[in-house]
Chain A
Amino acid sequence: MKMLNLKKINILIRKYKNFLVGILIIAVYYWAIKGTDVSLINFTKGIPFMADFIGRMFPPDISNLGRFLAKALETLQMAIAGSTIGALIALPLSFLGARNVMPNKLVYHSIRTIFDICRGINEIVWGLIFVSMVGLGPFPGVLALAVHVTGALGRYFSEAIETADSEIIKAIISTGASRVQVIVRGIFPQVKPLFINYSLYYLENNFRAATVLGLVGAGGIGMELLTSMRLFRSEEVLTILIIMVLMVTAIDRFSAHIRKKITRVEILN
C-alpha cells in the first residue's frame, strides 16, 4: 500500500516537474529583485541626473594629461611587478600543491588552502589590507596583486602539473634522474606553455584590477580618478576614463596576440 503511494507521488512529480521548476525560478528572481530594491521607476527618475552628469563631462579636460598618462604608466608598472612577483612565488609552490609531485597529503592540502585564501579574497580587499599596513601609494597595490595572483596562478599551475603525462615522467625517472631533475626535465617542459599562457592572462587581468586598486588608495590612475571625482572635475573624469579604456584595450589585444601565437606554435609543432 505504502509502495503504491510512493509510486503515485513519483508520477505526480514527474508530470508537474516543469511547472514546479518554473515556480521555483520565479521565486528566486522575486527574492533577488525585492532584496536589492531594483526598481524601474527609480531608474527612469535617475536618467536626467545621469544625462546632466555626462553633459558636464564635455569637453574632456586635457590640461593635466601628462600627469594622468604618467599615472597610467604607474598602473602598468604595478600590473607588471605584481604579476611577476606572484608568478615567481606561485611557480615553486605549485609543485608542492600538485598531487603527483607531493605525496605528503598535509603539505598538499596546506598549499592548496593557501592558494584558495589568496585567490578567494579580491584584489581590492587585499588592497585595503595592505594600504592600512604600508600606507598609500603603488606599493600596497603591487602587494595586493602579487598575493591574489600567487593564489590564482598557484592553483592553475598545480592543476596543469597534475595533468602532465606520467609516462614521460617515468621515462625521465628511468634515466636515473633525481627528484629535482625529474621535476625540471620530466614535468616542467610539459607544462611550460600553459604556465606562460596563464601568466600572460593574469598580466592582462591585473592591469584591469590595478586601475581599480587606486580607488582604495593603492596607487595608479585609479587614485587620480578618485581625486577628480571627489573634486567634481567631471571633465577630467572623462579624460581619465578614456585613457583607462584605451590602455586596457591595448594591453588585452597585445597579450591575446602573444598568447595566441604561443598556442599556435604549440599546436603546429
Chain B
Amino acid sequence: MIKIENLSHTYRDREKEAIKNINLHVQKGESLVIIGSSGSGKSTLLKAINRTIEPTAGKIFIAGEDILSSPNKKVRQIRGSIGMIFQNFNLIERETVLKNVLDGRSRYNNNLNIILGRFSQDDYRVARESLQMVGLAAHEQDRVANLSGGEKQRVAMARALSQKPEVILADEPVSSLDPKLMKEIMDLLKNICDEKNITLISSLHFLDFARQYSSRIIGMREGEIIFDGSESDLTDHDIVNIYGKTRDWYLYGKLGF
C-alpha cells in the first residue's frame, strides 16, 4: 500500500536531518504505530507521506503511484485517498459540524461548487454516514466551537472518513485529550479502520496505547527507524533504545527500568 524508499528531510534553516534514510513498507489494512520521543521525526514522517511537507530526498509510493514526482493534480488525488487527523483537530471552529465534515468531500468537487458551498446529495449522504460512524449524527448542526475535545476529534475523524480514504494518518491524535477520552477515541478509530480495512498509521506517545492499538510498531530515534516489529517483539531493551536514558518513564506509561 505504502512504500517509502531512502526518505530524508531537513527543515529549512536547520542543519540536522529531521528524518534520515527511512525505508518502510506498509501493507493494506495494517495498523502501524510510530513511537519515539519528541523531535524523533514521527510527525515529519507522517506529513511526508501525504506530501504536506516536501521531503528533501527519497521516494514515496502510495498504491504504486510516486507522490513526490506526480503532477499537482495527481498529488491532490492521492492526498484525497489519505485522511489525516491531528493533535489539535484543526477544524474550522466557528462553523457547523456538518460543514466541517463536508470538507472531506473536496476532492470530489470542482472549485465553483466549493465557492458556492454546493454539495451533491451523495456528498451529504457520505458526510452523514461518517458522522453516524463516529456517533455525532445528532450534532450535525452544532458549532464545532461548542463541542468538547473528544467530540472535536470525532468530527475530525468524520472529515477524514468522508474522503473514503484508503489510509488514515493520525498525528498524535489523543495527545490533547484526557486519559479516559484517549482510550475512547483510539478504540473508535481502530475499530472503524479495522472494519473498513483502512490502513492506519498513527504516532503515539504512550507505550500502552502503542501496544494496544497496533499490529506493528515502529520506534524512531533522531530521525531513524531503530525498531520495526510487532508488539510482542518490543523488549525493554528496545524501549530504552528508542526513548534514550530518561528518568521520566512514567511519561511513556512505564514505571521505570
Binding site for B on A (CB under 8 A): 165, 167-168, 170-178, 180-181, 184-185, 189-190, 193, 266, 269
Contact = CB atoms under 8 A, between A and B. Distances in A.
Main SS of chain A's interface residues?
Answer: helix
A190 B163 CA distance: 22
B38 interface: no
B94 A174 contact: no
B241 interface: no
A171 B95 contact: no
Interface in B181-198: none
A168 to B, nearest CB: 5
A170 B90 CA distance: 8
A269 B93 CA distance: 8
Interface string B104-143: 1011010100110000000000000000000000000001
Contacts of B246: none
B80 A171 contact: no
B4 interface: no
B92 interface: yes
Interface in B43-81: 50, 52, 76-81
A43 to B, nearest CB: 54
A171 B91 CA distance: 8
B114 A181 contact: yes
B21 interface: no
B107 A177 contact: yes
B79 A167 contact: no
B159 A269 contact: no
Contact of B79 (A176, A190, A269): A176
A168 B155 CA distance: 14
Contacts of B230: none
A89 to B, nearest CB: 18
Contact of A170 (B52, B104, B107, B159): B52
B52 A189 contact: no
B86 interface: yes
Contacts of A181: 106, 109, 111, 114
B86 A171 contact: yes
A185 B86 contact: no
A177 B106 CA distance: 5
Nearest to A174: B84
Interface residues of B, number: 34
B91 A269 contact: no
Residue from A173, A175, A184 whose CB has the most chain B CB atoms within 10 Å: A175
A175 B103 contact: yes
B103 A167 contact: no
Contact of A171 (B90, B115, B145): B90
B146 interface: yes
B88 interface: yes
Contacts of B115: 180, 184
B84 A180 contact: no
A175 B94 contact: no
Contacts of A177: 76, 103, 106-107, 114
A172 B86 contact: no
A184 B90 CA distance: 16
B95 A175 contact: no
A102 to B, nearest CB: 17
B145 A269 contact: yes
Nearest to B95: A189
Contacts of B146: 269
A174 B145 CA distance: 22
B82 interface: yes
A78 B4 CA distance: 61
The interface centre, meaning the residue of A170, A181, A184, A190 with most chain B CB atoms within 10 A of its CB, is A181
A222 B93 CA distance: 45
Nearest to B79: A176
Contact of B111 (A174, A180, A193): A180
Given A181-B114, A189-B95, A269-B143, A173 B88 contact: no
Contacts of B111: 178, 180-181, 184
Contacts of B106: 172, 175-178, 181, 185
A176 B52 contact: no
Contacts of B93: 269
Nearest to A190: B92
A174 B52 contact: yes
B114 to A, nearest CB: 5
B79 A185 contact: no
Contacts of B82: 174
